[in-house]
Amino acid sequence: MRIAVTGATGNVGTALLRRLTEGGDHELVGIARRPPNDEFPTVSWVSTDLATDESIVSLREAFRDADAVVHLAWGFQPSHDPDHLEELGVGGTRRVIDAARDVAVPHLVHMSSVGAYSAKVDDEPVDESYPTGGIPSSPYSRHKAAAERLLEAHEAHHEVPRVTRLRPGIIGQRAAAGALLRYGLPGFVPARALRLIPVLPLDRRIAMPMVHADDVAAAIERVLTVSAYGAFNLAAPPTITPEVIGEVLDARPIHVPGNVLRGAAALTWRIHLQQVDPGWVDLAMRAPLLATDRARRELDWRPTVPADEVLRETVEGMANADSGGTPVLRPRTLSDRVAALVRRGPVSRRARP
């Protein structure tokens, strides 16, 4: 099978390539703005920036004769430039859909998210019929919901490519630690500080789904194998709560109301003390839990790593400053942080090179 993968150097992309290259049965095309030098030597690499209209020519060539396209590319920083993030996430999805349609790719697998769903009513897990209106105060959620609208418009007017939407919870793995550190922690905070947190100020109502990148990759492989279409939730038990986070961090949870957390996040983000926009607090408070019955039934998919172990592995990776072998998952080093800060400013507002 010839498979083209956008965002192939990222968290899920590397997990998927690891899985698909094991048997050597597939012809793989990896698409990324910065292809790796040595990782995945059997993959054919295409360099392009999905945030630009110029990328559609490269996408058409990369998708030509493909049996499937797996669209994973998305952006999380610079958080102070939501227009750019929208152009990459929503605009990039539009370009992928158009290019796949132009060269008659039969199957498009789109990586959506729990963030595409509308705000929860309670903590009862929702199935794939739950509305995908997003949480408007979260740019990430708003953009994921907008990408779903593009898919709906495509499906209403075109027969190919047929679309599969995967809606996972938070995706973690050890190899993503370098990226998570750069995106989530200010450059002046050392990774080992994660081991020194005595208390954890969080709203006790927070309840989030989580899943391992390898389990998401397994679901994608299964979708491709059986040509499954439609939407599939992906999450592993147990639910991630402040108690679970506290146990993983060896910290004592202290209840702080969500509106107070959001205010603190908004202030510190606005003055560039930290780079995570306050919409992520809204997402943590309001995103629903996920029922995965359809994936179990139609894909025969079962998560192999419990969610608390996913969180533990990811946090340990961050504390140890672990990393992957691609530019996106590269190590977070002090010299790199200082050099990037001097040359380009904080990650939350710097322009892409």
Residues 34, 9: contact at Cβ < 8 Å?
yes
Q: Which two tokens stand for residue 232?
A: 């599939």
- Would the pLDDT of 344 be above 90? no
DSSP class of 174 = G
d(CA 87, CA 92): 6
Q: What's the pLDDT at 207?
A: 97
pLDDT band at 347 (very low <50, low <70, confident <90, very high): low
- Would the pLDDT of 162 be above 80? yes
- Would the pLDDT of 349 be above 80? no
Tens of pLDDT, residues 250-293: 999 999 999 999 999 999 999 999 999 999 999 999 999 999 99
Q: What is the mean pLDDT of the chain?
A: 93
Residue 121's Cβ-side half-sphere holds a number of Cα atoms within 13 Å equal to 5
**Single-letter amino acid code for the residue at 186:** P
Sign of CA dihedral 328, 329, 330, 331: positive
pLDDT band at 194 (very low <50, low <70, confident <90, very high): confident
Residues 201, 252: contact at Cβ < 8 Å?
no
Q: Residues 200-211: what's their mean pLDDT?
A: 97
- Delineate the domains of the chain, giving CATH numbers in brackets: 2-344 (3.40.50.720)
Q: 93-97 long-range contacts, Cβ below 8 Å, gap at least 24?
A: 93/147, 93/150, 93/151, 94/150, 95/50, 95/53, 95/55, 95/56, 95/59, 96/6, 96/50, 96/59, 96/69, 96/71, 97/150, 97/151, 97/154, 97/161
- Would the pLDDT of 216 be above 80? yes
Q: What's the pLDDT at 136?
A: 97
pLDDT band at 130 (very low <50, low <70, confident <90, very high): very high
Q: What percent of the chain has pLDDT over 70?
A: 94
Tens of pLDDT, residues 2-48: 999 999 999 999 999 999 999 778 999 999 999 998 889 999 999 99
d(CA 225, CA 292): 19
Tens of pLDDT, residues 92-119: 999 999 999 999 999 999 999 999 999 9
Q: What's the pLDDT at 293?
A: 98
Tens of pLDDT, residues 325-334: 898 988 866 5
Q: Residues 220-243: what's their mean pLDDT?
A: 98
